[in-house]
Amino acid sequence: MTKKIFLLAAAAMLSLQLAKAQSDKGYDMTIDGVKVIVQPSGNDIVEIQTIIKGGVQNYPADKAGIESLALNALTECGTLKHDKNSFKNALDKVNASVYGLCGKDYSVIRMNCIKMDFDDVWPLYAEAITIPKFDAKEFARIRQDAVNNLKEQDSQPDAAINKYADKVAFAGRDYAKDPYGTVPVIEKLTPEETRAYYQSILTRSRMTIVVVSSLDRPVIEQKIGQLLAGIKQGAPFHLKKDFFRAYKNSIAIEPRELATNYVEGTTSGPSPGMDDYNAFNVAMRIFANRHFLYIRTKNGLSYAPQSWFTGGSTAVARFAVSTTQPDKYIEVFSKLVDTIKQTGFTKDEVEDMKVTYLTGFYYRQETNQAQAASIAANEVLFDNWRRAITLVSDVKKLTVTQVNDAFRKYIGNIVWVYQGDPKKVTAQAYINGLNRGDAGAGQ
């Protein structure tokens, strides 16, 4: 155990050194109204991520999936200068990547190449963003692929329960929308409608650009300035943060013929930027360990019980299991939460998790892509990209009291969902499960 703690401490020290080195070099600037964040990499890889803010806030529920399809079309349907095959071939020739992906809070158009190939890849990247073709034949192909993927996800219990939890917990909120849409919606989307939608969100007011590379500043300014010249400013945009609060325990039951039963619960969490955000993040990581210990190791109720904190614009804590004994699960879960609320996490648990969390966080920052993704998320959600660098010192300052207070504050009433044999679950057990008042008091 002593050796393990020593190794974790050593890794944390390396992480601190990395953070300091990054903070000394990183900078931001504004080009034609767009914030551009640059993190010099010290290597020959160029990673550029163009962020389009909004995510599920950009479209109504009956158009969910349109942004995902549009982002995919940028590279899968060709551009006005290259058809799909010649576009892909040009990238493959230099082993570069250009593609788009979406999320609940923002979408990303990504470019990755070796520095010596930058002048060849950048024009392709700019084409994909500014003059995508939305070719009808290729669009029909990617639309069908999207439909097939959605059907496959619905047949996978882990994916299905997550979507069901979103639908129930976030009913009436933007987060109820699936960024990848639904089969009925996707099947109706046309290339013309999807192109028009993409053009409507491609505005400088929604954009942030992250560059992780050793490119010189004048080169970055010139290339991005040329890219932005043909993009309209658009109306001001601000990502809304929506605090989630469950006013009572509840459970929604969906009968499914499965080998086992799936349970997932959703409760409150602090929004990005709140004072107790980091404390709650650490608390949930400790709870995940205890949850695993009590549900699997001590009681054998589930092979892979999970607990996690999703820190998006609507931040929540979640708990999930697959089990043949759903009623026994809620009994053990409730007692576990009650015990922690009464006695709290220990000093050793908190200190160990702080080191483990920070070590893992910075190990994941070893690639340019991961660094860019972290910078982008912190800029969009926290309005502070430098948090990706200062997180070490922020987490190190956390006390046991802060971590325990955060857990007690937010873990309260839970919105549960269940898929499986309805005869195996007693709804009232989940409704009565946690009788400790509302979470988020004082919010």
pTM over 0.85: yes
In this prediction, residue 7 has a pLDDT band, given cuts at 50, 70 and 90, of very low
Question: CA-CA distance, 427 to 243, in Å (whole number)?
Answer: 26
Long-range contacts from 359-363, C-beta under 8 angstroms, 24+ separation: 359/8, 359/11, 359/12, 359/15, 361/15, 361/391, 362/11, 362/14, 362/15, 362/18, 362/19, 362/392, 363/11, 363/15
CA atoms within 13 A on the CB side of 307: 24
Is the per-residue pLDDT at 406 higher than 60?
A: yes
Question: CA-CA distance, 374 to 361, in Å (whole number)?
Answer: 10
Between 337 and 362, the higher pLDDT residue: 337
DSSP one-letter code for 296? I
Is the per-residue pLDDT at 438 higher than 50?
A: no
50: nearest Cα among 379, 395, 403: 379
Is the per-residue pLDDT at 364 higher than 80?
A: no
The gap from C-alpha 212 to its chain's centroid, in whole angstroms, comes to 20
Element spanning 363, H or E: helix 347-363
pLDDT tens readout for residues 333-350: 999 999 999 999 999 999
Question: CA-CA distance, 109 to 128, in Å (whole number)?
Answer: 9
Question: CA-CA distance, 192 to 190, in Å (whole number)?
Answer: 5
DSSP code string of 144-162: HHHHHHHHHHHTSHHHHHH
Question: CA-CA distance, 280 to 134, in Å (whole number)?
Answer: 44
CB-count burial class (<10 Å; 0-12, 13-18, 19+) for 56: buried
Helix (H, G, I), strand (E, B) or coil at 268: strand
Is the per-residue pLDDT at 393 higher than 80?
A: yes
The H helix count followed by the E strand count for the chain is 16, 11
In this prediction, residue 141 has a pLDDT band, given cuts at 50, 70 and 90, of very high
In this prediction, residue 312 has a pLDDT band, given cuts at 50, 70 and 90, of very high
Instruction: State the average pLDDT over residues 238-264.
Output: 96
